[in-house]
Amino acid sequence: MPHAKIAPSLLSGDFGKLADECKMLLEFGANYLHMDVMDGHFVPNLTIGAPVISSLRKHIDGYIDCHLMVTHPLQWVDDFGKAGANNFTFHVESEDDPSQVITKIRNNYKNMNVSMAIKPDTPVEKILPYVDQLDMVLVMTVEPGFGGQAFLTSCLSKVAYLRERYPDLDIQVDGGLSMDTIDAAVKAGANVVVAGSAIFKANSLSQMIKALKSRIIQGGFPE
C-alpha cells in the first residue's frame, strides 16, 4: 500500500536560506523536498540546476525529489545522479526517448529513483508503456513552469485511471494543492502531494504540513 507523503515545493521558499528551510521542513514532517528544475526551453522559466542539489546534499540527509521540466532529460541524468538527487522525474513530453532515460538511471545510479511526469493536456495513455518501469508517476494539476497557479480538477481523472490499474504505485500530484483541493486529489488516488504556496504562506509551516498529511491518511493511505 502506498504511503502518505508530503513534498513541500521549494520554488515557493527562500533560496537565500535554502539549506535552513530544508532542515526545518524535514523536522516538521516533510517526506520529500521537491525541487523544480526548469531549463527555460521546455517551460518559459529558468530555475536551479544540479550544482544547487550538490551543495544542498552537503547539509541535509533528506529525500531530494527533483522534477525536471527540461527538453532533454537524458543529458542531465549524470549531473543529478552525481549531485545526490534521490529522485529524477522527467516529462513524457520531452524530446528524448523515455526508455533511454530510464535505462541510463537504472544502470548507473542505483540510489536514484526514476519517475515520469505528465502535463494536463497530455492523454494518460502516453505514459502507460513506461509505468511498470517507474518508481512514481507525477500528474501535473497545473501547467508546469510557474508556482501559484489554480488547481485543475480535470487532471484528476488521470490519477483515478492510474490508481485503478496500479494500486501499489506512488502517484504524485503537483500544482494548486491546498486544504481546499487535497481531498479531491487523494480521493482520486494521489498519495504524494506537492504543495508550495499552501505551505510557505501558512501562518505555521509545521501545522500545515501535518494538516495536509492528515488528509492523505484520512483518505486511506498509511503514514
Instruction: Say how many domains are in the chain.
Output: 1
pLDDT for the residue numbered 205: 96
Segment 114-148, tens digit of pLDDT:
999 999 999 999 999 999 999 999 999 999 887 67
Q: Nearest-CA neighbor of 8 among 59, 50, 64?
A: 64
**pLDDT at position 178, please?**
97
pLDDT the model gives residue 23: 97
Q: Which domain holds residue 196?
A: 5-218
Annotated ligand binding at 148? The verdict is yes
- CATH code of 174's domain: 3.20.20.70
62 is in an annotated binding site: no
d(CA 218, CA 215): 5
40 annotated ligand binder = no
Q: Is 78 annotated in the active site?
A: no
Q: Which one is catalytic: 65, 96, 170, 174? A: 174
Residue 81 marked in a binding site: no
What pLDDT is recorded for position 88? 98
Chain segment 68-97, per-residue pLDDT in tens: 999 999 999 999 999 999 999 999 999 999
Kind plus residue range of the DSSP H or E element containing 78: helix 77-83
C-alpha cell at 82: 552525481
**Rounded Cα distance, 216 and 182, in Å:** 8
C-alpha closest to that of 53 among 29, 31, 37? 37
Residue 112 neighbours by CB under 8 Å, 6+ apart: 80, 81, 85, 86, 87, 88, 105
What local confidence, expressed as pLDDT, does residue 145 receive? 80
Q: What is the pLDDT of residue 85?
A: 98
Active-site residue (options: 36, 65, 96, 170): 36
pLDDT of residue 149: 79
Note the pLDDT of residue 132: 97
2 CA to centre of own chain: 15
User: What's the Cα-to-Cα distance from 22 to each of 35, 83, 120, rounded to whole Å?
Assistant: 11, 16, 29
Q: Measured in whole angstroms, how far is the alpha carbon of residue 41 from the centre of its chain?
A: 19
Instruction: For residue 223, tell me if it sits in a domain.
Output: no
Residue 13 belongs to a domain: yes
Residue 151 is assigned to a ligand binding site: no
Query: Does 36 show up as a binding residue in the annotation?
Result: yes
Within a domain: 151: yes
pLDDT for the residue numbered 63: 98
Beta bridge partners of 209: none
Decide if 174 is catalytic. Answer: yes
Q: Residue 75: its pLDDT value, please?
A: 97
Per-position pLDDT tens, the chain of length 223: 899 999 999 999 999 999 999 999 999 999 999 999 999 999 988 999 999 999 999 999 999 999 999 999 999 999 999 999 999 999 999 999 999 999 999 999 999 999 999 999 999 999 999 999 999 999 999 998 876 778 999 999 999 999 999 999 999 999 999 999 999 999 999 999 999 999 999 999 999 999 999 999 999 999 9
